[in-house]
Structure 1
Amino acid sequence: MSYAGAVFLQHVFYLKNTIQPQGCYMSRRPSVIPGFGLSLGCAAFYASLIVFIPLAVLFAKAFTLTWAEFWKTVLDPQAIASYRLSLGAAFVGALINLCFGFVVAWVLVRYQFFGKRIIDALVDLPFALPTAVAGIALTALYAPQGWIGQWLTPLGIKVAYTPLGVIVALTFIGLPFVVRTVQPVLEELEKEIEEAAASLGANRWHTFRRILFPALLPALLTGFALSFARAVGEYGSVIFIAGNMPFRTEITPLLIVTKLEQYNYAGAAALAVVLLVFSFILLLLINLLQHWSAKRAGG
């Protein structure tokens, strides 16, 4: 076939896929990846198999209990104490990561210094480190006779086997989520915008508040949400440093594991549902804040 004939057939194929029989252009452009229906079906099937079906089974298992049994399980004083510790420590740890994660991301993006690549790689260490190893390492550091704990104990600061130790563990495992979420956004921000603001008389605080912070807010909220969600479900690194004392340092995931060891699967599922609902509500609020901030920035 000649080149002109090939070009003609290509144009015919294009018109066939973009023009309706009535001569009107279709509102949807042809997809780059063929088989949209098949791709959507595979994606929905995979998401259902991995996420939706397990969550549905979790709710179904929890509600094999009667309403009286369900509320008795989830409102047990020991369970409420574990909610308070798990959610409170996760929230505090996520707030700490929100502040210091932003600082770490800022330093890694805006400054050049010796050992930068090593520090950048160490940020991802909590991702790769087994949680049990992290728990043992933190306990060795912050125990009363540990490398750091031996200096804190004379000051009256006890970290290991206290709620403070739980916060330290959850902060450790949640830091990469904030750094890796904020870092790409910082890299895309052009320094010329800050220089233009400075040339117009804006000081550093006004430049950050009016230019940088609105652009970084969605990424900061996303990092906070990911860090919080990761901390709520953390188990391995916490049980070593917490001491696991009921009503003091017992987290909800440990209480769930305890009920599983007692073959109380419905009770464990009920506690898991409570954590899931709390996490979903927080993530929903953060998504609403992200939508509001993006809409405000666009408007």
Structure 2
Amino acid sequence: MALRPSPVIPGFNLTLGYTLVYLSLIVLLPLAGMLVYASKLSWPEFYAIVSHDRVLAALKLSFGAALAAALLNGLVGTLLAWVLVRYRFPGRKIIDALIDLPFALPTAVAGIALTALYAPRGWVGQWANEIALKIAYTPLGIILALTFVTLPFVVRTVQPVLEDIPRELEEAASCLGANKFQVLRHVLIPALLPAWLTGFTLAFARAVGEYGSVIFIAGNMPGKTEILPLLIMVKLDQYDYLGATAIGVMMLAVSFVFLLLINLLQRRISRG
């Protein structure tokens, strides 16, 4: 494929060199160092670590909760973006600012606040106990924490695309006889889907590696509410650096496969 330098920004070779050096120093070299360190393990040793029941339970919980939180935010975040773009009401700018609060709030503070709220004696937890619903120290609490942390990714990705969709397209479709469901299916969803997938991917990737907001509300019970990042920290506290690296490599591989599949799907939808 022929290179097509941008005529606007000069110095293609220089800027490309800076890009590759920066990515190598920030992303590639640390990951390569982790892979090299993990190579000290033989394949049977590596497999024994990553196939342990405790590790598999943490893997299932981490990726399952991240997927559930990303899907939930994909729905709720899109509705929030729709309300902020299409309606004008008192307090709109305050709500718009509150959406970015998880970005600025330390994750440990978010975890403590959520635990105080949803614990059995918390404001919401005590009411949940009356209907036999336990939130804190369960996978449900982990999903709520991840949903809180990753909400802005979906809203801030979908919101600009909604603002750029001309309302005339919807009006034209309605004038041509389309009902509201047909307008949603044939006009809005095709325009929003690439941005929605981008927001979903960002939310999922952020949720997989989340640590601070989860450890307080999870309860950290091995095999039940223990996530992979916490298990890595446990290995490090035990000076089992090879074990922690092996889990990190497995986590990296699974994350890469998930993100690759999502990106391929996004590219296919964009071309369509």
TM-score where L is the length of structure 2:
0.97
Mapped partners of 1:290, 1:29: distance in 2: 25
Counterpart in the other structure of 2:174 = 198
C-alpha change, 1:263 and 1:112, in structure 2 (3 Å) is same
Deviations 1:223-244 (A, max 9, x none): 1111000000000000000000
The question of whether the paired residues in 1 share the 8 Å contact of 2:6 and 2:12 is answered with: no
1:248 is aligned to 2:218: no
Mapped partners of 1:206, 1:289: distance in 2: 23
C-alpha change, 1:54 and 1:159, in structure 2 (3 Å) is same
Mapped partners of 2:235, 2:4: distance in 1: 53
C-alpha change, 1:178 and 1:29, in structure 2 (3 Å) is closer
> AA paired with 1:240?
F
Counterpart in the other structure of 1:120 = 96
The question of whether the paired residues in 2 share the 8 Å contact of 1:144 and 1:150 is answered with: yes
The partner residue of 1:148 within 98, 102, 124 is 124
Counterpart in the other structure of 2:29 = 53
1:102 is aligned to 2:78: yes
Deviations 1:207-264 (A, max 9, x none): 0100110110001111111100000000000000000000000000000001111111
Report the alpha carbon displacement of residue 144 of structure 1 after superposing the two structures with TM: 0.5
The partner residue of 2:149 within 154, 157, 173 is 173
Mapped partners of 2:4, 2:55: distance in 1: 52
Q: How does 1:259-270 map to 2 (within 5 A)?
A: 259-270=235-246
Report the alpha carbon displacement of residue 294 of structure 1 after superposing the two structures with TM: 1.1
Mapped partners of 1:44, 1:244: distance in 2: 40
The partner residue of 1:162 within 128, 131, 138 is 138
1:275 is aligned to 2:248: no
1:34 is aligned to 2:10: yes
Report the alpha carbon displacement of residue 31 of structure 1 after superposing the two structures with TM: 2.6
The question of whether the paired residues in 2 share the 8 Å contact of 1:165 and 1:241 is answered with: yes
CA RMSD of aligned residues (A): 1.1
Larger CA deviation: 267-276 vs 105-114: 267-276
- Give structure 2 stretches of 5+ with no counterpart: none
The question of whether the paired residues in 1 share the 8 Å contact of 2:194 and 2:269 is answered with: yes
Instruction: Give the match's secondary structure for 2:239.
Output: coil
Report the alpha carbon displacement of residue 29 of structure 1 after superposing the two structures with TM: 6.9
Counterpart in the other structure of 2:203 = 227
Counterpart in the other structure of 1:84 = 60
Report the alpha carbon displacement of residue 34 of structure 1 after superposing the two structures with TM: 2.3
The share of aligned pairs that are identical, in percent, is 61
Mapped partners of 1:161, 1:28: distance in 2: 54
> AA paired with 1:143?
A
Please list every run of at least 4 consecutive aligned residues from structure 1 whose deviation after the TM superposition is greater than 6 angstroms. none
> AA paired with 2:142?
V
